[in-house]
Structure 1
Amino acid sequence: MSRTWFITGANRGLGRAFTVAALDAGDTVVATARDPHTMADLATERLTVLPLDVRDRDRVFATVVEAFDVTGRIDVLVNNAGYGLVGALEELTENQIRDQIDTNFYGALWVSQAALPHLRAQGSGHIVQISTVGAVGSLPLFSMYNASKWALEGFSASLADELRPFGIKVTLAQMGGFDTDWAKSSMKFATGIPAYSAAREAILGMPDYPDMSAEPPTTEQPATDPAENEWADAAPEVAAAALLDLVGDPNPPLRKVIGPSAHQMVTMALDARRQDYLTDPEFTWPA
């Protein structure tokens, strides 16, 4: 049976791969992007592209209503819109911090909130929040990105319990590194303070943040998720295939780790937390 999808940030990277995979599977997709013209090459009668900036709550609610009006129902809602912000906390401006949280956290929250009455009315649906292995651990220079995804995970875990009685499922897709624009043109950087040069060298392999206004290098550089930078990145089609398997599962998990080496990163992050708790003699880690 074909499904109907609603995918945010669908014009490039993982969002585009998800859209293409769903269409190839014979499904119907409502895809959103800030600039819908960037998806003109995917024209098909099973694809509806709507303009949307997920930071705009009123626009989100109107767009979700439009999506249900066009398709009649939504079976899979994928909150994918987001980007990476790099900078030590001291280096980040208020606008940079607010924009990161508005996009990665509030954007997913508004879309989820807007869809809930419709999903309850139809008695089904699967909300997939595109998270990251960075929501399990942390990394210097990525505090606001980590914070946005930790917040996403916190509200989504509660949301899953709220929606279970209505037949609506919620899954946090904890992504590892994929070869997308995430670490290229989509990434934003703070203005560096010399005191953090060593941190930049350790994490980014350079003493200064890259100049994103400069001409791109003649050779393609590998893209990495911050929590995944020790391993080579996988093609976004790998993530799309895993997502299709996930939404095809009649009993999907709350958390699903996706990526060739993402499991190792989650293991390392959880072990670091376990070691912290073990310093407390009154704490016993579950067997």
Structure 2
Amino acid sequence: MSVASSDQDNLTLRAAAASRVWFITGASRGLGRAFTEAALAVGDRVVGAARDVSPLDELAAQHPGRLLALRLDVTDRAAVVDVVDQTVRHFGRLDIVVNNAGALFAGMIEEFTEAEARAQLELNFFGALWVSQAVLPPLRAQSRGHLVQMSSIGALGGFPSTGLYSASKFALEGMSEALAAEAARFGVKVTIVQPGGYWTDLYTSSKATTPNPVYDTLRTELAKQWAEGSIDSEPRLAAEALMTLVNSDDPPLRLLLGSMVYDLAFDISQRRLDTWADWEQVSRAAEQAIPAPATEPA
């Protein structure tokens, strides 16, 4: 081996050591694809996980050795653990995890079958939970890392026809807040990202319940609202925001993406504050400290 080639090999090794390792679920399309492209564009390495990874073939060819596409159904807990183990073995470490895999099952609450309701929670909540559990050991062992939980505008409140989707995201956020407090002592950061609308296939690929005609009028009203008030952006903008987030030394627990969702978050929060204030007297009257009740002897 020549001195020149040896120096080049050393440069390559140093570059690999400096680049971050990402684990992104739902990486083959939509926001996940945009996140994958953004990470590769800055020289980082990515494990792109998805049920169908064939859309990543061309991207992997463009970035040899830096994109590892692994087939994964996040609802399979054992498979999640195995793929995370493969990630750490292949790249030697793990720096940024983006829990992005998810889907929308639309329908009024009354219309959901048990199987449909469980399927929505299995993917959006339990899938993210299994990934979070699997990545914590390597992140904790490194005493560093950043876990990004992709939530939704649907977690700001419950909306007609997306109630089970909102339920799955509410559950994700409650779990993630607790996880953030638990992981902080080990140097692991957690951020919940709440994006607004983006031009992805979330809606076109969504599934739907069997419509109950009693909700036909409401469906018509909703369709009109969405047609007149929908604001959707390029996924690239969400990816740029994500890069700013993961480059921060002090990332927030929550991050809103988009002016519409930003304004909506403040509006919903203010309405909640107003309601709590209106009912303050009832709330405070429901609490009065008393000694522990005496227990009957066994």
Normalising by the residue count of structure 2, what TM-score does the alignment of the two structures yield? 0.85
Q: Does 1:237 align with 2:236?
A: yes
Matching of residues 110-129 of structure 1 within 5 Å? 110-129=130-149
Q: Does the CA contact (< 8 Å) of 1:231 and 1:261 recur in 2?
A: no
Aligned-pair distance for 1:205? 3.4
> Bigger shift: 50-59 or 176-185?
176-185
Match of 1:18 in 2: 35
Query: How far off is 1:265 after superposition?
Result: 1.6
Aligned partner of 1:281 in structure 2 is: 280
| SS class of match (2:241) | helix
State whether structure 2 residue 181 is matched by structure 1 residue 182: no
Pick the aligned partner of 2:161 from 141, 146, 150: 141
Using CA pairs below 8 Å that are at least 6 residues apart, which structure has the higher relative contact order? Answer: 1
Q: SS where residue 202 of structure 2 aligns?
A: helix
* Whole-angstrom distance in 1 between the partners of 2:94 and 2:259: 30
- Partners of 1:105 and 1:74 lie apart in 2 by 22
Q: 1:96 aligned to 2:113?
A: no
Rounded to whole Å, the distance in 2 between the matches of 1:55 and 1:204 is 31
CA deviation after TM superposition for structure 1 residue 51, in Å: 0.4
Any idea what SS the aligned residue of 1:134 has? helix
State the shift of 1:271 in Å: 2.1
Which consecutive unaligned segments of at least 5 residues does structure 2 have? 1-17, 285-298
Shift of the alpha carbon at 1:229?
A: 7.8
Aligned to 1:42: 59
Task: Give the AA of the match of 1:168.
Answer: V
CA distance in structure 2 between the partners assigned to 1:197 and 1:9 by the alignment? 33
- 2: distance between equivalents of 1:205 and 1:83? 23
Structure 2 match to 1:164? 184
Indicate conservation of the 8 Å contact 1:137/1:270, yes or no. Answer: no
Between Structure 1 and Structure 2, the one with more helix by share is 2
Matches within 5 A, 1:206-245: 230-245=229-244
| Alpha-carbon distance in 1 for matches of 2:76, 2:274 | 41
- Residue 289 (structure 2) aligns with: none
Q: Hey, what does 2:260 align to over in structure 1?
A: 261
**1:87 CA displacement:** 0.4
Instruction: Say whether the 8 Å CA contact 1:36–1:49 is kept in structure 2.
Output: yes
Quote the residue 2:250 is aligned against: 251
Deviations 1:173-211 (A, max 9, x none): 0111111111112x11111000111221122339xxxxx
User: In 2, Cα distance between the equivalents of 1:202 and 1:279?
Assistant: 30
| Equivalent-residue separation in structure 1 for 2:203 and 2:259 (angstroms) | 18
Normalised by the size of structure 1, how large is the TM-score? 0.88
Q: 1:122 to 1:281 in 2, by over 3 A?
A: closer
| Partner SS for 1:171 | strand
Take 1:233 and 1:167, find their aligned partners in 2: how far apart are those partners?
A: 35
The reply to whether residue 271 of structure 1 matches residue 291 of structure 2 is no
Percent identity of the aligned residues? 46
1:68 is matched with which residue: 60, 81, 88? 88
Is 1:30 aligned to 2:50, yes or no?
A: no
- Match in the other structure for 1:201: 220
Aligned partner of residue 64 in structure 1, secondary structure: helix
The number of aligned residues is 263
Cα distance change, pair 270–97 in 1 and its aligned pair in 2 (3 A): same
C-alpha separation between the residues in 1 aligned to 2:204 and 2:271? 29
Compute the RMSD of aligned alpha carbons: 1.7
Give the Å deviation of 1:67.
Answer: 0.8
Amino acid in the other structure paired with 1:104: N
Paired with 1:281 and 1:275, the residues of 2 have a C-alpha distance of 10
Partner of 1:3: 20
Distance of 1:195 and 1:271 partners within structure 2 = 32
Give CA deviations for 1:112-165 in whole Å, capped at 9, x if unaligned. Answer: 101111111111100000011221222011110000000000010010000111
Higher Rg of the two aligned structures: 2
Q: Secondary structure at the match of 1:158?
A: helix
- What is the distance in 1 between the residues matched to 2:158 and 2:84? 33
